[in-house]
Structure 1
Amino acid sequence: MSKEKYKPPPFNYCDYRCERCDERDNCRVFKENQERIMDHYLKGEDPYNPDVFIKDLGNIFANTNRMISKMAEERGIDISDATSREVPEVNPEEYVVYRLAYVYFQEAHAFIKELENSGVPDAIREDFEDLTWYHTLIAAKAGRLVSGFVDDFLDEELQAIEEEGTIGVIQKGITLSSEALHHMLNELPEHLYAISDLINLLKRLGKQLQTDIHQKVVPDKA
């Protein structure tokens, strides 16, 4: 499979903000979800009713299971004994890229809570929403990135494409969060140090993504 011939679908690098996405028309996940919602409305059902949603979730899992089984069969993989196979575990804390993302999450979360308690000015409302949305997503995607380092289900080329998509989401989060923080800095000079620390962490994380995503944390010497 050639990267030049294969363009990953939008959901491979999704940040779950469909309302802001330019790829909605090309996204199968978005289309299927919209069709699901419309189908329920046509039947006079509330697609957000818990019972309806749980039933839909069951159908989604069943379809996913069929897709995985088909993929495994095409690759000659027997998944009937999958439960007996030992799955390698990854400690994300061993990797610098995840450590930076998680430290950023912790500091950003504390800052967000502080602003919620004191009140968010209208002038930075959208920036606050971006910061809130991406501070969890960045850490979650960083965890997904490092967990894939021991995933032997995908071949090297597909693994590279998967990593590229995950890194793309993290970088998007870094860019939009940095822009939000710079805007907030102008409106919240009293939070200069906290905001500057967050911006610096994002810069370090971005640099780590560009240099070495596999770098491990050097253990402290006793």
Structure 2
Amino acid sequence: MSEAFKPPPFNYCDYRCDRCDKRETCRVYKDDQERLLDHYRKGEDPYDPKIFMNDLKEIFTKTEKMIHKIAQEQGIDLEGASDEEMPEVDPEEYVIYRLAYQYFKEANVLVKELEHIGIPENLQQDFDDFVWYHTLIAAKTGRLVSGFIDDYLDEDITKLEENGTIGVIRKGIDLSKQALENMLSELPDHLYTIADLTDLLRRIEKQLDVDIRQKV
């Protein structure tokens, strides 16, 4: 693989390729664009269910080979792996997840309300950011705490995963705060709701700075 492309894991990804400044060095983005181009050259619709499912099968096959390669490099015997279940994490035990999930619930109420009454055209991009990240922040926070007891990965990889996840949570917080600030100027009737949501984002941010592993 070219050194120009970032290696996995891709936990710093927020799945918004159209607005990402790392596309030029992202292997996932490059592979996906090449997949689309290949279908277009063949006169195929890459979003046709049959074609998409076939692509998905190829991706899973490729992923399986990558897993076996990494396991071999790290001396992990997948065939002889224990059937013992991995310990489960209860995300509700962690302060940071509770804050993120509370933000998601309260933000979702506002999302539905604004979708019902309509959004001013000049706020559409801010609203799109708000909608996108109100779910992603909670999801990525859940991913963050689930890695606290993952003893199967190399320590360096685990740290890379954790830092990447924290990075995308912070990005989501920054863009969400900016979106809410812009929305407030046009939606004064929602002052208290927006203020509460902004406060929750700041509390999540503070928890990232202070102690991501703090339990309730």
Contact between 2:130 and 2:180, CA under 8 Å: does it hold in 1? yes
Structure 1: unaligned runs, 5 residues or longer:
1-6, 218-222
TM-score (norm 1): 0.92
Q: Which residue of 2 aligns with 1:3?
A: none
Alignment correspondent of 2:131: 132
Query: Structure 2 CA distance, aligned partners of 1:10 and 1:26?
Result: 13
Q: Hey, what does 1:117 align to over in structure 2?
A: 116
Cα deviation 1:67-96 (Å, max 9, x = unaligned): 001111111111124471221100000001
Counterpart of 1:84?
83
Superposed CA offset, 1:5-33 (max 9, x none): xx766834111111111111100000000
C-alpha contact 1:108 1:135 (8 A) present in aligned 2: yes
Deviation at residue 123 of structure 1 after TM alignment: 2.2
Maintained 8 Å contact 2:7/2:27: no
CA distance in 1, matches of 2:19, 2:84: 41
Contact (CA 8 Å) 1:10, 1:26: kept in 2 or not? no
- Cα distance 1:34–1:8, how it changes in 2: closer, same or farther (>3 A)? closer
> Matches of 1:129 and 1:100 in 2, distance apart?
22
After TM superposition, list the pairs within 5 Å mapping 1:166-185 onto structure 2.
Answer: 166-185=165-184
Query: Does 1:62 find its partner at 2:61?
Result: yes
Change (3 A) 1:20 1:30: same
TM (normalized to structure 2)? 0.94
1:97 and 1:205 in contact (8 A); partners too: yes
What is aligned with 1:102? 101
Cα distance per residue 1:129-159 (max 9 Å; x no partner): 0000000000000000000011112122221
| Residue 21 of structure 1 pairs with residue 26 of structure 2 | no
1:37 counterpart = 2:36: yes
User: Helix, strand or coil for the counterpart of 2:10?
Assistant: helix
- Asked if the contact 2:144–2:166 (Cα under 8 Å) also holds between the matched residues in 1, the reply is yes
> Size of the alignment, in residue pairs?
211
Q: Do the aligned residues in 1 keep the contact of 2:180 with 2:198 (CA within 8 Å)?
A: yes
Further displaced range: 150-159 or 60-69: 150-159
Q: Distance in 2 between matches of 1:155 and 1:9?
A: 13
Amino acid across the alignment from 1:127: D
- Using the alignment, how far apart are the partners of 2:92 and 2:9 within structure 1? 29
Query: In structure 2, what residue type is equivalent to 1:133?
Result: W
The residue matched to 1:48 in structure 2 has which SS? coil
Q: Give the match for residue 3 of structure 2.
A: none
Equivalent-residue separation in structure 1 for 2:80 and 2:141 (angstroms):
30
State whether residues 127 and 183 of structure 1, in contact with CA within 8 Å, keep that contact through their aligned partners in structure 2: yes
After the TM superposition, which segments of 4 or more aligned residues of structure 1 sit over 6 Å from their partners?
A: none
Larger displacement relative to structure 2 (9-18 or 99-108): 9-18
Identity of aligned residues (%): 63
Which residue in the other structure is 2:193 paired with? 194
Q: Does the CA-based 8 Å contact 2:11-2:168 persist in structure 1?
A: no
Which residue type is aligned with residue 95 of structure 1? Y
C-alpha distance in 1, partners of 2:65/2:209? Answer: 37
Distance 1:204 1:191, change over 3 A: same
SS at 2:151's partner residue?
A: coil
Amino acid at match of 2:191: L
